[in-house]
């Protein structure tokens, strides 16, 4: 099974900051990597698919990058509405697996 490790597990940043979250896969997953955003009390929402493609309706301040085993999610200009937990997910092989999540808070 492929293990997905996110770092940091939580972070606190100021509105307007650039925030970067890292996701590491235990083996090469090419670019079969997705990102989801989950706000408190809500279901997850799709954010980025295939490592770098923004889902329709996602603000362009979000961007994804990486390949093989190292991936990033970047928020350029953190906004109050971005307070959430972010999860990466691989689909290179079953079982599908999620990272442990990164909780983003405002300072």
Partner 1 sequence: EVHLVESGGDLVQPGRSLRLSCAASGFSFDDYAMHWVRQAPGKGLEWISTVNWNSGFTAYADSVKGRFTISRDNAKNSVFLQMKSLRPEDTAIYYCAKDVHYGSGSFIDFWGHGTLVTVSS
Give contact residues for partner 1 (rule: CB under 8 A).
1, 32, 34, 36, 38, 43-46, 49-50, 55, 85, 87, 89, 91, 94-101
CA-to-CA separations, 78 to 6, 32, 48, 83, 98, in angstroms, rounded: 19, 26, 17, 9, 23
Q: Which of 46, 55, 28 is nearest to 84 (CA)?
A: 46
* Least gap, CB of 61 to partner 1 (angstroms): 20
* 3 vs 15, beta carbon nearer partner 1: 3
* 10 vs 15, beta carbon nearer partner 1: 10
* Least gap, CB of 60 to partner 1 (angstroms): 19
* 72 vs 100, beta carbon nearer partner 1: 100
User: Rounded to an integer, what distance in angstroms lies between the CA atom of residue 65 and that of residue 22?
Assistant: 10
What tokens were used for 29?
């997953």
């Amino acid at each position: 099974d492929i293990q997905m490790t996110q770092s940091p597990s939580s972070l606190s940043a100021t509105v307007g900051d650039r925030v970067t979250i890292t996701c590491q896969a235990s083996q090469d997953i090419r670019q079969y990597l997705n990102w989801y955003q989950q706000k408190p009390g809500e279901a997850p929402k799709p954010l980025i698919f295939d490592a770098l493609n923004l889902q329709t309706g996602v603000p362009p301040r979000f961007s994804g990058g990486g390949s093989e085993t190292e991936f990033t999610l970047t928020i350029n200009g953190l906004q109050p509405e971005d307070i959430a937990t972010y999860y990466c997910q691989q689909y290179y092989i079953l079982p599908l697996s999620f990272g442990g999540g990164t909780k983003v808070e405002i300072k």
